[in-house]
Structure 1
Amino acid sequence: MNRIDRLMGVLTTLQSKRYVSLDHLANKYEVSTRTVYRDLKALGEIGVPIDFDDQKGYSILQGFFLPPVSLSTEEANAIILVASLSERFTDSGTQKHIENALNKIKAVLRSSERLKIDQLQSQIRIYNRSEEQLPSGYLSPIQKAISEKEILQIEYCNNKGEISQREIEAIGLTFYSNQWHLIAWCWKRKEYRDFKVKQISKLSSQQEVFRKPEHYDMNDYLKSLH
């Protein structure tokens, strides 16, 4: 990797995380910490507002944004493949967000790169059997509720066909048995429950933050099931 590519990589990494350590950057780009320090200094000299915290590491001051100007062929191809998989593994709302994001990425690419992406995109298709049911369209609001820690009100139909109203605090999404599952604290049952997203018939946000003081980390919850 030449220095220009590495500088852009370091900048992208700083933009994607709140704080980054010198060792993390050195390991990621396979250079010495001294080289990374020089790269950070060079970014500062061209106007990138880099801040440093003794306890947390390096960061870019809030409000600064520099969009990426290029992608490698491999990076662009990976994005196209993941976007194509959304046709099979997400709902229509999420697919629309992915399409919008992909269009924004294309907008900053050179015309030759954009043409290659369009050609590849036209040649990747995901086959869905007609009987396969996609999620009910709630993946996007569920993700928002998880990140914003907002309480959700849902109408849920269990495997017995019984419909119930639930007030839940969503902690995460997981995909297994060929479908999405929402893991959430259920105030009705007073315990964590596993809800199949495609069996949620209604969903709305209470515009209220979580009331439960502490929650499982999603990874810890999944480990507890073993």
Structure 2
Amino acid sequence: MEGDDIKRISRLTAILTQLQTKRRITAASLAEKFGVSTRTIYRDIKALERAGVPIMTEEGKGYNLMEGYRIPPIMFTERQANALILAEQLVLKNKDASFVQDYSEAIEKIKSILQYSTQDKANLLADRTQYDEAIHQERTSSNLSDLQNALTNYQLVRIQYINKEGIATERLIEPFAIISAENWYLIAWCRLREGFRFFRPDRIQHMVVLPDTFEPHNLTLQEYFEKYQ
């Protein structure tokens, strides 16, 4: 097989991955990502369609996979699997129990689709890689996963929150972003204060994700920092 053929097969596989992980993607963004012309991307998309991949084209908007279509599991390389195992140890240092549990369960699912030889090596590495301080890390909250879900589904959240002065208040908030510094922080629109506020998940004493939704805030995280910080 010629070098150009190998590059194209690799690119076609990568395009499939992009289509599976993004709701919609443009030919221009694919061309920039893979360092080829948009004409080449058009040919690649046609090749995938001829191979039976149901790609939907929205004029002027881009491409997406037909609803319900699933691509067979992507095979991780040994180095990629090793990176995931190491990342799991870093995640174990997190103080939020829900986040640690969800990530660990995701890693187990990823391990299940690895080729047997890579799977054995990944399990060996997991057994031989351990941070004691991570394993015994005290979990001070279990709110992060629910907050992530509320953020992506634009659901209102009612919380009982204690600030750094120890004052407790009840808030109705609209989750906007989650960032990490020394601790995790939630940026949310607070209806009590009528503005964006920072909240530490480990200071939330009680939380209820409501079925009610809010209108998404029409700005990026970068635009938020430029406007409010």
> Which TM-score tier does this pair reach, normalised by the shorter chain?
0.7 to 0.9
Residue number in structure 1 paired with 2:3: none
Q: 1:223: how far off?
A: 2.8
Query: Residues 92 and 134 of structure 2 are in contact (CA less than 8 Å); yes or no, is this contact kept in structure 1?
Result: no
Structure 1 segment 186-225 matched on structure 2, within 5 A: 186-210=190-214, 214=217, 216-225=219-228
Cα distance per residue 1:90-148 (max 9 Å; x no partner):
52222222122222222222100111211222233335389965441000110011011
Correspondence for 2:185 among 167, 176, 181: 181
Change (3 A) 1:132 1:103: closer
Residue number in structure 2 paired with 1:77: 82
Report the Cα distance in structure 2 between the residues aligned to 1:95 and 1:78, rounded to whole angstroms: 17
Query: Residues 93 and 135 of structure 2 are in contact (CA less than 8 Å); yes or no, is this contact kept in structure 1?
Result: no
Cα distance per residue 1:12-45 (max 9 Å; x no partner):
1111112222232223223343433332222212
Report the Cα distance in structure 2 between the residues aligned to 1:151 and 1:46, rounded to whole angstroms: 44
* Unpaired segments ≥5 residues, structure 2: 1-5
Residue number in structure 1 paired with 2:118: 113
Report the Cα distance in structure 1 between the residues aligned to 2:125 and 2:85, rounded to whole angstroms: 8
Query: Residues 171 and 215 of structure 1 are in contact (CA less than 8 Å); yes or no, is this contact kept in structure 2?
Result: no
TM-score by length of 2: 0.87
Report the Cα distance in structure 1 between the residues aligned to 2:217 and 2:152, rounded to whole angstroms: 15
TM-score by length of 1: 0.88
Residue number in structure 2 paired with 1:21: 26
The alignment partner of 1:128 has SS state of helix
User: When the two structures are aligned, how many residues end up with a matched partner?
Assistant: 224
Report the Cα distance in structure 1 between the residues aligned to 2:162 and 2:189, rounded to whole angstroms: 17
The alignment partner of 1:159 has SS state of coil
Query: Residues 157 and 207 of structure 2 are in contact (CA less than 8 Å); yes or no, is this contact kept in structure 1?
Result: yes
Q: Is 1:99–2:104 an aligned residue pair?
A: yes
Q: Is 1:51–2:56 an aligned residue pair?
A: yes
Change (3 A) 1:69 1:174: closer
Residue number in structure 2 paired with 1:88: 93
Report the Cα distance in structure 2 between the residues aligned to 1:141 and 1:107, rounded to whole angstroms: 25
* Unpaired segments ≥5 residues, structure 1: none
Q: CA RMSD in A?
A: 2.4
The alignment partner of 2:133 has SS state of coil
Q: Identity rate of aligned residues, in percent?
A: 33
Residue number in structure 2 paired with 1:165: 170
Query: Residues 135 and 180 of structure 1 are in contact (CA less than 8 Å); yes or no, is this contact kept in structure 2?
Result: no
- Give the letter aligned to residue 195 of structure 1: F
Query: Residues 90 and 139 of structure 1 are in contact (CA less than 8 Å); yes or no, is this contact kept in structure 2?
Result: no
The alignment partner of 1:169 has SS state of strand
